[in-house]
Structure 1
C-alpha cells in the first residue's frame, strides 16, 4: 500500500511539473564574452538542479574518501571492544565456575581494549581474585596496584578485595591497612566490620572484638547467637591473660549478667580459677550454675567432680545441702550424682556417698563411678564389694576398648 502511494505521488508530481513547464515560456540569456547563449528557463532550472546534485555527490565522495581511515579505525575499535566485553562476561562466568586460571586469562583480554573505567575495574578485580585463589601473589598485587590508577569511586572495591585476599593468606597487618582505607571511603560498611572482626579475633584483641560485635549487632548485621559466640571467644581470650583470682573476680563483675550466666563461659572461668587454685570460688560459680536447670550442663558437673577433694569442708557441706534442690530438677543426671558422691566421700559421709555413686552407676555405668565405689568400699573395709567393682571396671574398660 505504501509503495502504491509513493508511485501515485511521483506521477502526480511529474504531471504538475509538466503543466508548469508549459505555462512558463520565458528564457534565460547567458553572456560570457565573446559568447552569448539563450536557453529555455525550464532547461536552466533543470541544469541548476543537476549541477547542485552533482556537486553534492562529489562532496560526499570526497568526505567519504577522507574519513575512510577514521571509519576503519572506529570499526576496528568497536570490534576489539565487542571482543573485550565478551571476554569480560566469560571471565565472570569462569570465576564463578571455579576455573580461576581461565577467568584470569579472559579478564586480561578484557582489560587490554576496554576504555570504560568500570569495566576495567571489574576485569582487574576478577583477575586479582583469581590470582589470589591460585596463590599467585605477585600477579595478585600487580592487578591491585593497577586499580589505583582508576577513579576514586572505584577504590572501595579495590581496598575490600585487597583486605579479603590478605586475610586469606594470613597477612593480618596488610588486611587491617586495607580495611582502614576502605573505612575512610565508607565508615559504616558492614562487610568491612565483619572482616575486621575476624582479623581482630585472630590477632587476639578481645576488646576490639567486643566493640565490633556490639557495633554489628546494633546495625542488625549480626544474629544474636553469632554475637554471643564472638563474645564468648573474646571473654575466653581475656581470661587467658589473667594470673590470679582477684583479676578473675574483678573481670566477672564487669561482664553483663546475661553473659555471665553462659554455661560455656562459666566452664572457662572455672577452668581458669582451678589453674590459679581458687577452688572454693570455682565451686561457688558451679553451684550457681547447677542450681539453674537451663544453665546446668554435664560439663559443669564434671568440673565439680574434679575439684571436690580440693574444697574446704564448709564448701563441700554447703554444696551437698544445695544438691537436694539440684536433684529435684535433674534426678537422672548421672554426672551430677557422681560429683555429689565424691563430695560426700571427701567428707567421709559413707552412706550418702554410696547412695549417690550407686544411683549414678544405675543410670549410666562409668569407669569413674566404679572407681569411686572401689575407693569407698576399700575405705569401709568391704572387700567383696571392692572385688565386684574392680571386675566391673575391667569389663567396662574392655568393652570401651581402653
Structure 2
C-alpha cells in the first residue's frame, strides 16, 4: 500500500512541476564579458539543482576518501576485538571443561587485543587460575602482576584470586596478606572471611578462628554445624598447648556452657588430661558429662578405657555414681560396660561379671565379649573364657 501511495505522489509531483514549468515563461541572462547568454528560467533552476547535487556528491566522495584510513583501522580493530571476545569465551569454556592449557592459551589471545579493562581482567584471571592448575607458578605470578595495572575497581577480584591461589599452593602467610588487602577494599566480604577462617585454622590461631566463626555464624555465612566444627578444631588447638590439668580446668570453665556439653570436646579434654598423667581429673570430667546428659552415653567408653589408670578411691566413687545413673537408663549397654570395667579393675569379680553380661545381653559388642573372656581367664575358668572369645570372633567376622 505504501508503495502505491509513493508512486501516486511522485506522479502528482511530476504533473505539478510540468504545469509550473508551462506557467513560468521567464528567462535568465548570464553575462560574462564579452559573452551574453539567455537561458530559460526553468532550465536554470534545474541546472542549479543538478550542480548542488554534484557538489554534494563530490564532497561526500572527498570525505569518504579522507576517512578511509580510519575506517580501515576501525574495521581491523573490530575484527581483532571480535576474535578476542571469541577467545575469551573459548578460554572460559575450556577452563570449566578442565582443559587448562587450552584455557591459558585462549586467555592470552583475549588479553592481546582486548581494550575493555573488565574483559582483560577476566582473561588474566582465567590464565592465572589455569597456570596454577598446571603448577606453572612463574606464569601464574606473571598474570597476577599484570592485573596490578588495571583500574582500582578490579583489584578486589585480583586480591581474592591471589589469596585463593596462595592458599591452594600451601602458602598461608601470602594468602593471608592478600586477604588483608581485599578486606581493606571490602571489610565485610563474606568469601574473604571464610577463606581467612580456613587460613587461621591452618596457621593454628584458635582465638582468631573462634572470633571469625562467630562472626560468620551471625551473618548466616556458616550454619550451626559448620561453626561448631570450626570451634571444636579451635578448642583442640588450644587444648594441645596446655601443659597441666590445672590450666585445662581453668580454660574449661571459660568455655561457653553449650560447648562444654559437647561429648566430642569432653572426650578430647579427658584424653588430654589423661595424657598429662591426671587420670582422676579426666574421669571426673567424663562422669560430670555423663551425669548431666543422658544422651552422652558414648563417653562411657573412654571412661572404661582409663579404668586401670584411675585411683582405687576414684573407681569406687565412680561406681557409686554410675549405679545411680543406671536407675534412669538401665539398658545403657555402654554405661554397663564401663561399670564392668571399673569393677574388674577393682577386683570385684562378681559385679564385673554381672555388669558385663548385662551389657552383652542388651547389645552384643566385641569389647564386652573380650572383657568377659579376660575376666574368666583371670578367674581360671578357661571354658567360659573360650566361649566368650569365640563369640568375640563371631562378632568381629560379622562386622568385617
How many residue pairs get aligned? The number is 398
What SS does structure 1 have at the residue aligned with 2:350? helix
Q: Which segments of 5 or more consecutive residues in structure 1 lack a partner in the other structure?
A: none
Partners of 1:346 and 1:104 in 2: CA distance: 67
Equivalent residue of 2:36, what SS? strand
CA displacement, residues 104-151 of structure 1 (integer Å, 9 cap, x when unaligned) = 122111111111111111111111111111211111111111111111
C-alpha spacing 1:395/1:223, structure 2 compared with 1 (3 Å): closer
Aligned equivalents of 1:303, 1:18: Cα separation in 2: 117
- Give the deviation of 1:48 after TM superposition: 0.9
Contact 1:367 1:393 in 2 (8 A): no
Is 1:291–1:325's contact at 8 Å kept on the other side of the alignment?
Answer: no
- The answer to whether the 8 Å contact 2:297/2:334 transfers is no
CA contact (8 A) 1:342 1:353 kept: yes
Match of 1:223 in 2: 223
* Local SS of the residue matching 2:114: coil
1:376-400: CA deviation from partner (whole Å, max 9, x where unpaired): 4566xx53x2443046426745874
| Alignment check: 8 A CA contact 2:369 2:391 kept | no
Deviations 1:54-100 (A, max 9, x none): 11111111111221121111111111111111111121122122222
1:308 and 2:304 aligned? no
Residues 373 and 385 in structure 2, CA contact (< 8 A), matched pair in contact too: yes
Shift of 1:349: 2.8
Counterpart residue number, 1:326: 325
Matched, 1:389 2:388: no
Rounded to whole Å, the distance in 2 between the matches of 1:20 and 1:72 is 48
* Residue of structure 1 in register with 2:358 after alignment: 359
Q: Does 1:317 align with 2:316?
A: yes
Map of 1:212 onto structure 2:
212
Match in the other structure for 1:252: 252
> TM-score by structure 1 length?
0.93
The aligned counterpart of 2:141 is 141
Q: What's the counterpart of residue 36 of structure 2?
A: 36
For the 8 Å contact 1:201–1:209, the answer to whether it is kept is yes
Write the mapping of 1:341-356 to structure 2, written as runs, cut at 5 A. Answer: 341-356=340-355
Shift of 1:295: 4.1
Cα 1:27/1:320, change in 2 over 3 Å: same
> What are the superposed Cα offsets for residues 293-328 of structure 1, whole Å, 9 maximum, x if unpaired?
554143x22211122233233322221122124334
CA distance in 1, matches of 2:275, 2:47: 115
Equivalence for 2:55: 55
SS of match in other structure, 1:73: helix
Q: Which residue of 2 aligns with 1:113?
A: 113
Which runs of structure 2 are paired with 1:1-400 in the superposition (5 Å)?
A: 1-298=1-298, 300-364=299-363, 368-370=367-369, 372-373=371-372, 376-377=375-376, 382-383=379-380, 385-390=381-386, 392-393=388-389, 396-397=392-393, 400=396
- Once the two structures are superposed, residues 356-388 of structure 1 have per-residue CA deviations (whole angstroms, 9 ceiling, x without a partner) of 122234445556545544554566xx53x2443
Name the stretch that deviates more: 15-24 or 142-151: 15-24
- Residues 373, 57 of structure 1: alpha-carbon distance in 2 compared, 3 angstrom cutoff: closer
TM-score, normalising length from structure 2?
A: 0.93
Instruction: Tell me how far 1:242 sits from its aligned partner.
Output: 0.5
**RMSD between aligned alpha carbons?**
2.1
